Amino acid sequence: MVAKLTVIFFIILCLQLGIILILLPWMSIGAFGDWGDNFLLAFLAQKTGLPVIQTAVSSTWFRGAVTGLGVLNLLIAFWEIAHFKRSVRVFEGKENS
């Protein structure tokens, strides 16, 4: 039972993380502002003395890379859903590969 719950929670984690990583770089969220123009990023760039950090993070290349990680997380989640029984067996140690 523990193995099944662990695999289910892993699937949920991958789905949530994938959706967040796909949507977050392209949305403007209330108090935080735009992805490349938020307070925390500006604070980090100011404290480190490296304004190139803010420029790099706000670029579409970086946003695309983060979105790609989100897509990868969704693919992992769907693979785990498709191979649920096998993943549980491997987690329980009943299958070596």
Closest residue by Cα to residue 21 from 10, 13, 30, 33: 13
Amino acid making up residue 88: V
Instruction: Quick: pLDDT tens for 15-66.
Output: 999 999 999 888 877 766 677 778 888 888 899 998 898 889 888 899 999 9
Rounded to two decimals, the pTM is 0.81
- DSSP three-state, residue 96: coil
The pLDDT confidence band at residue 72, using thresholds 50, 70 and 90, is very high
DSSP assignment of 26-51 equals: G--BGGGBSTTS-HHHHHHHHHHT-T
Count of Cβ atoms closer than 10 Å to residue 70 Cβ: 19
